[in-house]
């Protein structure tokens, strides 16, 4: 049997609303409940954004603290990964939650275009976020929207700005950035292995590409991400009923490819994360 596959659930994100799909969890209690269902379905990492009382994205550490506490209480052992993404704040506000010492946090190491804006990650901000992750012992998940981000992460590991081994998420299918293209994924994997041989990787597809990217990642021995942040549909005409439904779809692909789904202990061991006292 091949090595276990870690499934990450991206529960909310910054963009989806109840108008897109009523199942998108917005309040902290909805987020905790949706994460719990996804945990039971097989997800071992929760990738988290938070919203303010009006449902708008925020980087408010107090919201992140409540979500982190809720997940730790209701999903014991699950890996909590907080987003430092640029849609929910600006500048150093993006890293204001890192002193909460979550298991992991997302980290973008370069800029690119998003559908309607520039996703700005200037070098000084990237270095500051990376230093805060080192200081708080938070493992970064490198969000690679471009091949240059893979190489930059490896350079940062080599010069000590990031602690290895790297865990890199290839995000494919964001409009105006890299498309979901299997040969590009192969180039990402090959480049990562060449520049950072001890690294592991995960892949996420946006929108309709979620399913095919889940399948490529699982077939190629990587880890994968599902959830309503990236995609609110099961197919062209059917809304996904829950985050858990999208996780179950990834679990079914793992079964087809003879990949056991990593439980939280296995996932923590594979990622070199601390084991919580439960």
Which residues of the chain form contacts with Zn ion (CB under 5 A)? 83
Pick between residue 83 and residue 224 the one whose CB is nearest to Zn ion. Answer: 83
Residues 6+ apart with CB under 8 A from 107: 84, 126, 129, 130, 133, 140, 141, 142, 143, 162
Considering the complex, what minimum distance in angstroms separates the CB of residue 228 from Zn ion? 11
Alpha helices in 75-226 (DSSP H): 123-135, 147-158, 182-195, 209-219
Considering the complex, what minimum distance in angstroms separates the CB of residue 57 from Zn ion? 10
Considering the complex, what minimum distance in angstroms separates the CB of residue 197 from Zn ion? 27
Pick between residue 171 and residue 211 the one whose CB is nearest to Zn ion. Answer: 171
Pick between residue 56 and residue 158 the one whose CB is nearest to Zn ion. Answer: 56
- Pick the closest to residue 83 from 216, 227, 222 (CA basis): 227
Considering the complex, what minimum distance in angstroms separates the CB of residue 3 from Zn ion? 25
CA R_g for the chain:
17
Considering the complex, what minimum distance in angstroms separates the CB of residue 82 from Zn ion? 10
Pick between residue 10 and residue 166 the one whose CB is nearest to Zn ion. Answer: 10
Q: Which residue is nearest to Zn ion (CB)?
A: 83
Residue 92 in tokens: 């150093």
SS (H, E, C) 73-95: HHCCCCEEEECCCCCCCCHHHHH
List own/partner pairs for 112-115 with CB under 8 A and 24 or more apart.
112/145, 112/146, 112/149, 112/176, 112/177, 113/176, 113/177, 114/174, 114/175, 114/176, 114/177, 115/174, 115/175, 115/176
Considering the complex, what minimum distance in angstroms separates the CB of residue 171 from Zn ion? 9
Pick between residue 4 and residue 86 the one whose CB is nearest to Zn ion. Answer: 86
| Contact of 202 with 227, CB cutoff 8 Å | no
Cα 148 from Cα 138, distance rounded (Å): 23
Residue 46 in tokens: 């929760």
Q: Pairing mode, if any, of strands 50-51 and 57-58?
A: antiparallel
| Contact of 77 with 278, CB cutoff 8 Å | yes
Pick between residue 4 and residue 227 the one whose CB is nearest to Zn ion. Answer: 227
Considering the complex, what minimum distance in angstroms separates the CB of residue 128 from Zn ion? 19
Pick between residue 32 and residue 48 the one whose CB is nearest to Zn ion. Answer: 48
Considering the complex, what minimum distance in angstroms separates the CB of residue 258 from Zn ion? 29
Pick between residue 55 and residue 160 the one whose CB is nearest to Zn ion. Answer: 55
């Amino acid at each position: 049997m091949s090595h276990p596959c870690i499934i990450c659930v991206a529960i909310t994100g910054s963009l989806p609303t109840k108008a897109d799909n009523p199942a998108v969890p917005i309040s902290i209690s909805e987020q905790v409940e949706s994460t719990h269902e996804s945990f039971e379905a097989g997800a071992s990492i929760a990738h988290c954004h938070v919203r303010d009382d009006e449902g708008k994205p925020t980087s408010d550490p107090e919201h992140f603290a409540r979500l982190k506490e809720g997940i730790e209480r209701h999903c014991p052992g699950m890996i909590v990964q907080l987003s430092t993404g640029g849609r929910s704040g600006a500048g150093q506000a993006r890293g204001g939650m890192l002193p909460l010492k979550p298991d992991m946090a997302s980290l973008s190491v370069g800029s690119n275009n998003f559908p309607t804006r520039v996703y700005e990650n200037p070098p000084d901000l990237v270095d500051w976020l990376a230093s805060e992750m080192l200081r708080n012992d938070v493992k970064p998940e490198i969000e690679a929207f471009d091949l240059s981000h893979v190489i930059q992460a490896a350079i940062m590991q080599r010069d000590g700005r990031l602690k290895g081994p790297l865990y890199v998420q290839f995000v494919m299918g964001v409009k105006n950035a890299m498309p979901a293209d299997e040969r590009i994924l192969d180039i990402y994997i090959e480049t990562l292995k060449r520049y950072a041989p001890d690294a592991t990787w995960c892949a996420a597809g946006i929108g309709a590409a979620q399913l095919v990217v889940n399948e490529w990642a699982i077939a190629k021995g990587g880890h994968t991400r599902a959830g309503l942040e990236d995609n609110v549909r099961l197919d062209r005409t059917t809304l996904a009923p829950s985050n858990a439904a999208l996780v179950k779809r990834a679990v079914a692909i793992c079964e087809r490819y003879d990949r056991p789904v990593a439980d939280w202990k296995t996932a923590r061991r594979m990622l070199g994360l601390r084991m919580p006292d439960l």
